[in-house]
Amino acid sequence: MPLPPRSTSGRTHVTTVTRRVAPAPETTDAVRFPQGFTWGTATAAYQIEGAAAVDGRTPSIWDTYSHTPGRVRNGDTGDVATDHYHRWREDVAIMADLGVSAYRFSLSWPRVQPTGRGPAVQKGLDFYRALTDALLENGIEPVVTLYHWDLPQELEDAGGWPERVTTDRFADYAALAAHALGDRVKTWTTLNEPWCSAFLGYGSGVHAPGRTDPVAALRAAHHLNLAHGKAVQALRAELPSSARASITLNIHHVRALTEAAEDLDAARRIDALANRVFTGPILEGRYPQDLLQDTAGLTDWSFVRDGDTATIHQPLDFLGVNYYTPTLVSAATGEAGHGSDGHGASEHSPWPGADQVAFHRPAGSTTAMGWAVDPSGLYDLLMRLKADFPSMPLMITENGAAFDDYVNPEGEVSDPERIAYLHGHLSAVRRAIAAGADVRGYFLWSLLDNFEWGYGYSKRFGAVYVDYPTGKRIPKASARWYADVARTGSLPGEGPRSH
């Protein structure tokens, strides 16, 4: 995963993107992925590991949330998940067979540091040491995410992300992890999708810990930003200078329903809450003024202290980008309500200060999540990031789709819809690269079918089918398709390509 020297953003970015950018033509250059392009796959600890009370692990907020009646579909929990904690050798062998060059996975904070305080548990670290060793032995680069939503429950009991002290606990945890794994792991991500942690966890309540306080959500967003900055500092202090640090954001590609001024303003407002609340301080060292004005009726942002934005604004080696579907908005007509924003049903909005914005489901085909299949959104998003942050390398750290997969009588899983989804989105990535976007790699979400948060086990994102009662793994047709793409560096059906 070759990357240039770490860099900060060098330019103030536009307020929002609402129109499609013309795609680059399929020239000879456009059909090639770059030499050294990273082909990976990704998972998250709570979604796959299981072993929820094994070897010293204590509950996270997702253990508590999933065990609360009515929170997760069918009463599902991550207690067993795909049992990756015991079957990791099999899963590494599957990745080796697929020929991927990198594996992005998260550490379980309560497995490494059960209470969120104090020394690490060696058995937890030994699990990740053995996993990373096996990856390296198979030529697969380990890419570690420190936090994929599993805050130790004791820290939530003390106030969670809305409280400033949690940022110090996270920095301590980052230092422990880096000290233990820094000799094996060269690429680190601090947070995965802090928007979900803040606004779904503390705003709409459809994610753990299930709180519904818009001010707490804004406080959580700031403290997640601050935790990121402190964690980068902790990583730099522990790791060699060649190590790479990043953050992964689920940057929403926001489109206005019409060109009317009120719809364009709705898109601006959601762009601030979805994207610039993070990219502003992380990449530019300041919160956007329109965000502060939009939310002034809720908070004066006094929880942002002198020096915070400087701490948040740490040099990064690349920006992780997760994309699944675009976001379509307009000004609300009639009764206010956030509508179908694609993030789960709740009487409470994850959009503080945006009560007059309505969300719309785009036309066209959808995945099993009800999300529109629209690769043009990924192309447009990458071109926006190229324009806004021209010196920042990009990595697609999640992209994929859930469909209603099943095992046929021959014992196989055919998933042509997923193959079509991946083909379209990889074509969009390739066009963006040809148009100048500095995209260094692509991680397919996900390696395995798994616990899909509030949807439990009802949604399957994996390239590998998991029979949950037995744990049996069955690579889907899309896994074989993706293996061919990773091996050749080109999309099937286009003939051989040189690199």
Consecutive H or E run containing 192? strand 187-192
Q: Which of 193, 238, 417, 452 is catalytic?
A: 193
Element (H, E) at 418: helix 416-434
The DSSP line for 15-77 is S---SPPPPPP--TGGGPPPTT-EEEEE--HHHH---TTSTT---BHHHHHHTSTTSSGGG--
pTM score, whole prediction: 0.94
Catalytic residue, from 238, 284, 398, 417: name it. Answer: 398
Residues composing the chain: 499
Q: State the virtual CA torsion across 251, 441, 189, 77 in degrees, nearest 10.
A: 70
Q: Which residues pair with 329 in a beta bridge?
A: 256, 359
**Distances in Å between the alpha carbon of 418 and those of 72, 103, 366?**
25, 20, 11
Element holding 222 (H helix, E strand): helix 214-238
Q: What is the spatial distance between Cα 372 and Cα 377, in angstroms, rounded to a whole number?
A: 10
Burial of 22 (0-12, 13-18, 19+ CB in 10 A): exposed
Q: Which of 198, 98, 101 is nearest to 140 (CA)?
A: 101
The DSSP line for 96-114 is HHHT-SEEEEE--HHHHST
193 flagged as catalytic? yes
Output the tens digit of pLDDT for each of the chain's 499 residues. 443 333 333 333 333 444 444 444 444 444 679 999 999 999 999 999 999 999 999 999 999 999 999 999 999 999 999 999 999 999 999 999 999 999 999 999 999 999 999 999 999 999 999 999 999 999 999 999 999 999 999 999 999 999 999 999 999 999 999 999 999 999 999 999 999 999 999 999 999 999 999 999 999 999 999 999 999 999 999 999 999 999 999 999 999 999 999 999 999 999 999 999 999 999 999 999 999 999 999 999 999 999 999 999 999 999 999 999 999 999 998 765 566 789 999 999 999 999 999 999 998 999 999 999 999 999 999 999 999 999 999 999 999 999 999 999 999 999 999 999 999 999 999 999 999 999 999 999 999 999 999 999 999 999 999 999 999 999 999 999 999 999 999 998 654 443 3
Name the burial class of residue 409, with classes exposed (0-12), middle (13-18) and buried (19+) by CB atoms within 10 angstroms of its CB.
exposed
